[in-house]
Every structure is written in C-alpha cells, then in structure tokens.
Amino acid sequence: DAKTTQPTSMDCAEGRAANLPCNHSTISGNEYVYWYRQIHSQGPQYIIHGLKNNETNEMASLIITEDRKSSTLILPHATLRDTAVYYCIVRVWGAGANSKLTFGKGITLSVRP
C-alpha cells in the first residue's frame, strides 16, 4: 500500500548536490511529505518534512511541486557520510492510526569520492 514511488538507487559525486526524487501522485490534502534516512546498521534519522511550501533546514531542502504530486529532497553538498537509504513517506497530520509512519523501500544514495 505504498503511497510513494522512488527510484531504487542513484549516485552522486562528493561535494555535488544530490537530488532525490519522490512521486506521490495520490497524496491527499491533509498528508505531509516526510523524509528519513538510514545509514548502514543504524536506526532511521529524520531529515525534513513539508506540506506544500518548500522547506529548508541544516540538513537538506525539500521542494514540493505545486500540484503536490512529487517532491525532491536536495542535499546541497553531499559527503561520503550521506551514503544511506532515503525514505520518502506521506502521512496524515494528526494523531491516530492513519498518522503512523509507513516506510517503503527507499532509494539508496551512494556518494562517490
């Protein structure tokens, strides 16, 4: 029942921007887009989330299209430590069963030297 579609893998050069795409064409008006990542042998780590406006924090930027059917996570200057599986998740804002975090298969980002 995955609500998002991501490529299986991608790579980028160290120091360059990594642009990770995500399709969520069936997103509802009350669903947010979240990104988490999981570095090998560690628990997932929250990156960023947004509803419709672009968001930026110290880790990344999130660009959401105007129709909200897709988004892109941007790591502006990728480092080797950014090599991880990145999960794009859509979920309802609020409490209750519908708001639980459901992880798909994610995209494996490999940053090469």
Partner 1 sequence: GAGVSQSPSNKVTEKGKDVELRCDPISGHTALYWYRQRLGQGLEFLIYFQGNSAPDKSGLPSDRFSAERTGESVSTLTIQRTQQEDSAVYLCASSLDPGMNTEAFFGQGTRLTVV
Q: Where are the alpha helices (DSSP H) in the chain?
A: none
**Interface region with partner 1, contact rule CB under 8 A, candidates 18-26, 63-71, 73-81, 104-112:** 104-112
Residue 45: closest CA among 15, 91, 86, 99: 86
Q: 20: part of which helix (H) or strand (E)?
A: strand 18-23
Q: Is 29 in the site for partner 1 (CB under 8 A)?
A: no
Q: What token pair was written down for 78?
A: 């990728």
* Residue 58 found at the interface with partner 1 (CB under 8 A): no
The reply to whether 113 sits near partner 1 by the rule CB under 8 A is: no
44 binds partner 1 (CB under 8 A): yes
**Comparison of 34 and 68: residue with beta carbon closer to partner 1:** 34
